Amino acid sequence: MLEERIVYLDGGYVPWGEAKIHIMCHSLGRGSAIFEVIGFHDTQIGPAVFRLDEHILRFRKTAALLDMELPLPAEAISEAILETVRRNKLRQGTIKVIGYYPEVAFDILPPQKRFQIAVFVYDKQEDIADAQPLPDGGVSACLSRWCRLDPRSVPIEAKVAANYLNGIMARTEARKRGFDFAVMLDTQGFIAEGGTESIFLVHQGRLMTPSLGTILSGISRKSLLELAGQTGMPTIEGRLAPELLDEAEEIFLSCTPTKLLPVRRMGERVLTGIPGPVTRKLAERMASITAGRDEPFRRWLFPVA
């Protein structure tokens, strides 16, 4: 259970229930908390964190974009993450790294004093009693009326809490309409991404995904593109018209918890043969990688022990 988990908090390790901040702190009241969500997997060499270096690099980039000074160098953040996994003695699960201003603040600008880092580790199936499994045979998605944030308004490549109201609104709308997930367009009318997921389409033998610039640079997205390239699969990153959602032979979402999530229904369109051959091939290869069985991609795994 979550109450039994150990949390890294500002240089030390505390029980889950002691990981607290004041409700009037800047990061809660103004949404200035930054974060990363990272997966770790049960592999042949023991628990291993997936692409830890890439996640820390993005965490540091987010801090830089928001003019935040992290209290630890990259190596110390990495060790704090690995040690938190060790102390919780889990074989697989999810890591959430949060950077935040803990001090009470009333101004719109942060106090620019103490900035802290916390690391949480949990296994969704073991720790969250009401965790709902994903539907068998793929998920449903709809085109949201909410657009992805414009990159001229905020740095959309930053994983900052305030930005995620955008995805919350899109996902809430989708659920009210009877769908599992939402797909958002950017402000120019091209396909962007889901609420917290990247989107891929397979059309005429090519793997297609929206280009960077109006979307988050997802680690799973990057990994799938590298994997497809290594297998010789043609890939396209570009401005994708929404009409492609009606034409693609396969559609899938990707994020840290579920590296590939096939879409069986897109709006009123029902896709058949789910998962499709490309989705299945990539999913099987990714499962082999996260299990530590794929030697060419063993570099993506960071052993906990």
HEC string of the chain equals: CHHHCEEEECCEEEEHHHCCCCCCEHHHHCCCCEEEEEEEEEECCEEEEECHHHHHHHHHHHHHHCCCCCCCCHHHHHHHHHHHHHHHCCCCEEEEEEEECCCECCCCCCCCCCCEEEEEEECHHHHCCCCCCCCCCCEEEEECCCCCCCCCCCCCCCCEHHHHHHHHHHHHHHHHCCCCEEEEECCCCCEEEECCCEEEEEECCEEEEECCCCCCCCHHHHHHHHHHHHCCCCEEEECCCCCHHHHCCEEEEECCCCCCEEEEEECCEECCCCCCHHHHHHHHHHHHHHCCCCHHHHHHEEECC
- Share of residues in the chain with pLDDT > 90 (%): 92
Check pLDDT > 90 for residue 130: no
Q: Look up tokens 């290869």; give the residue.
A: 285
Handedness of CA 106, 112, 116, 122 (dihedral sign): positive
**pLDDT greater than 90 at residue 129:** no
pLDDT of residue 133: 73
Arithmetic mean of pLDDT over the chain: 95
Rounded to whole angstroms, the Cα distance separating 60 from 34 reads 10
Burial bucket for residue 224 (CB in 10 Å: 0-12, 13-18, 19+): buried
Confidence of residue 209 (pLDDT cuts 50, 70, 90): very high
Q: Within its chain, how far is the Cα of 115 from the centroid?
A: 23
Integer Cα distance of 272 and 1 in angstroms: 39
The burial class, CB within 10 Å (0-12 / 13-18 / 19+), for 143 is middle
Among 69-83, 102-116, 125-139, the least confident range? 125-139
Between strands 191-194 and 181-185, the pairing is: antiparallel
What are the distances in angstroms from CA 207 to CA 174, 252, 261?
A: 25, 10, 15
Query: What amino acid occupies position 202?
Result: V
- Mean pLDDT over 64-79 rounds to 96
Nearest-5° Cα angle at 142, 136 to 146: 140
pLDDT value of residue 99: 98
The whole-number pLDDT of residue 137 equals 83
Q: What is the pLDDT of residue 112?
A: 79
* The pLDDT of residue 111: 84
Polymer length of the chain: 305
Domains in the chain, CATH or no CATH each = 2-125 (3.30.470.10), 139-290 (3.20.10.10)
Say how far apart CA 290 and CA 168 lie, in whole Å. 29
Of 100, 91, 101, nearest to 121 (Cα)? 91
Across 171-177, average pLDDT: 98
pLDDT mean over 66-73: 95
